[in-house]
Amino acid sequence: MTSPPVVVAVPARLESARLPGKVMADIGGQPMLRRVLERCAQAKGVGAVVACTDSEVVQEAVEGWGYRALLTPQSCSSGSERLACVVDELVAAAGGQAFDQTLVINVQGDQPLLDPAIIEAMVELFGARDRPAVLTPVYPLAAAKLHDPNVVKVLRAHDGRAITFSRSALPHVRDLDPDQWTSRTTFWGHVGLYGYRADVLAGWQALPVSPLEALEKLEQLRLVEAGIPLLTYEVAADCFSVDTPEQLEQARGLVAANR
């Protein structure tokens, strides 16, 4: 099977609610968004890397770094919605013409330490599994994080399909102390990357409003409630994301230590 057209799209909202301006925050002498784009560009099998932003300031900076940037509405409520607004241009950037053959990979703009191998595995699986609707990575969850609501969990079927996502621990292990649940089964954490077949992403705006998405604040639950299958694949660990000032300082320390 021939390699599919692939574009990595990085939604980059400038005024993040929890940490405004974080995508342009300095980490080791470079804006965080630039580090994310450079990590994405290192992945094999990617035809283009594009930032999707609501800010002309970010657009100008990204183009100065040598990447393409697309302006999107400020009203977008999620990264997936932001990419859906410009899906035609993303498919063109990938060099593809057929939406049902093109992979659009949504990488968050706050993952400056992203491992390009996670993207490469997604590209390989998309080609090997006859163009799944949506792909997303998961990792084995440590017991210490199992009941942390800031860590998103995935309930998987035996064939790798995601049954649902939650901030609560899934599944519930009956008749056992919660501190011992990981002794009975593997729990899975969710890495916030999505590989959309472009025709699925193009239909995002038409998906019905998801009550579960509103409750959990997890955009992927809109896909689950709409009956769109998400195929998971396993990676070793989560990607470090920056959501708070403390995590920004931690990212700076990690980058400095890796020099």
Q: Is residue 49 part of a domain?
A: yes
CATH number at residue 103: 3.90.550.10
51: β partners = 10, 69
pLDDT tens readout for residues 169-215: 999 999 999 999 999 999 999 999 999 999 999 999 999 989 999 99
Percentage of the chain beyond pLDDT 70 is 99
pTM of the model: 0.95
pLDDT tens readout for residues 14-25: 887 778 889 999
Confidence of residue 1 (pLDDT cuts 50, 70, 90): low
Q: Is residue 1 part of a domain?
A: no
> How confident is the model at residue 93, as a pLDDT?
95
138: β partners = 190, 234
Q: Is residue 76 part of a domain?
A: yes
Q: Is residue 80 part of a domain?
A: yes
The three-state secondary structure class of 171 is coil
Structure tokens at 161: 């399909």
Task: Please name the amino acid found at residue 172.
Answer: H
Among 191, 197, 115, which residue's Cα sits nearest to residue 153? 191
CB-count burial class (<10 Å; 0-12, 13-18, 19+) for 183:
exposed
Among 6, 200, 1, which residue's Cα sits nearest to residue 102? 6
Q: Are 126 and 45 in contact (CB under 8 A)?
A: no
| Domain that residue 86 falls in | 6-257
> How confident is the model at residue 243, as a pLDDT?
86
Domain count, the chain: 1
Mean pLDDT score across all residues of the chain:
94
